[in-house]
Homo-oligomer: A and B are copies of this chain.
C-alpha cells in the first residue's frame, strides 16, 4: 500500500522544520507514494525566515494522510482554530502523527498528546509543561508515544523523519535514504573551549 505524507505549512513555520522532513520523506518514496504540502489557502506561505512556499493542497482538498508532519516556528504561537480543526481531522486516520520543534504545541492544542510523552525545542520545554496534561522530555532528539512522534528543535526533524521512514519501509531502506542525503553529520566547532 502506497503511503501519503502531508507536510503542514503556515505563515512563520520554521523553514528547516518542514524542509528537513520533506527531504527525508521524498527521498524515501517508493512506487505510488506521495509527499504533499498542505496549507489553509492556495497561496504562498511566508515561512519564519522569509522563504515563500506554494502549497500543493489546501485543507479543503488535501488527500487522506498516512503520515502528518506539523512543523514549529513563530507561526505556531498564533491562535488559529481552523488549523487545529484540520490537524485533528487529518490526524484521525494517520499511521504516524509527527511534529518538529514547537509543532508539538499544535498537537497539544489539538488534543492529540493528552497524557502522552513528547518533546519540543529546548527553549520551549517549560512552557509546554505549563500547558499541562503532557509529559515533556528533554535532551532527546525525538519521542515516540503510541503513533505520535515529536521531535526536538528544527534540525531534529531530520532524525525523527528517518526513524519514521525506518518504521514504514524497514530499517535498510531508511539507511539508503540516509546515505543518499549523505547524512553523516559533523557539526563544526564542536570541541569544548
Contacts and interface: CB of A to CB of B under 8 A. Distances in A.
A53 to B, nearest CB: 6
Interface stretch (A80-88, A110-118, A182-190): A182-190
Given A19-B51, A121-B182, A174 B188 contact: yes
Interface residues of A, number: 49
Interface in A141-193: 141, 152-156, 158-159, 162-163, 166, 171, 174-175, 178, 180-189, 193
23 contacts: A14-B23, A16-B22, A16-B23, A23-B154, A35-B49, A37-B51, A44-B44, A50-B56, A52-B53, A52-B54, A121-B182, A123-B180, A153-B180, A153-B181, A154-B183, A155-B181, A155-B185, A158-B187, A162-B189, A163-B189, A166-B188, A175-B189, A178-B189
Interface of A: 14-16, 19-20, 22-23, 26-27, 35, 37, 44, 49-54, 56, 101, 121-123, 141, 152-156, 158-159, 162-163, 166, 171, 174-175, 178, 180-189, 193
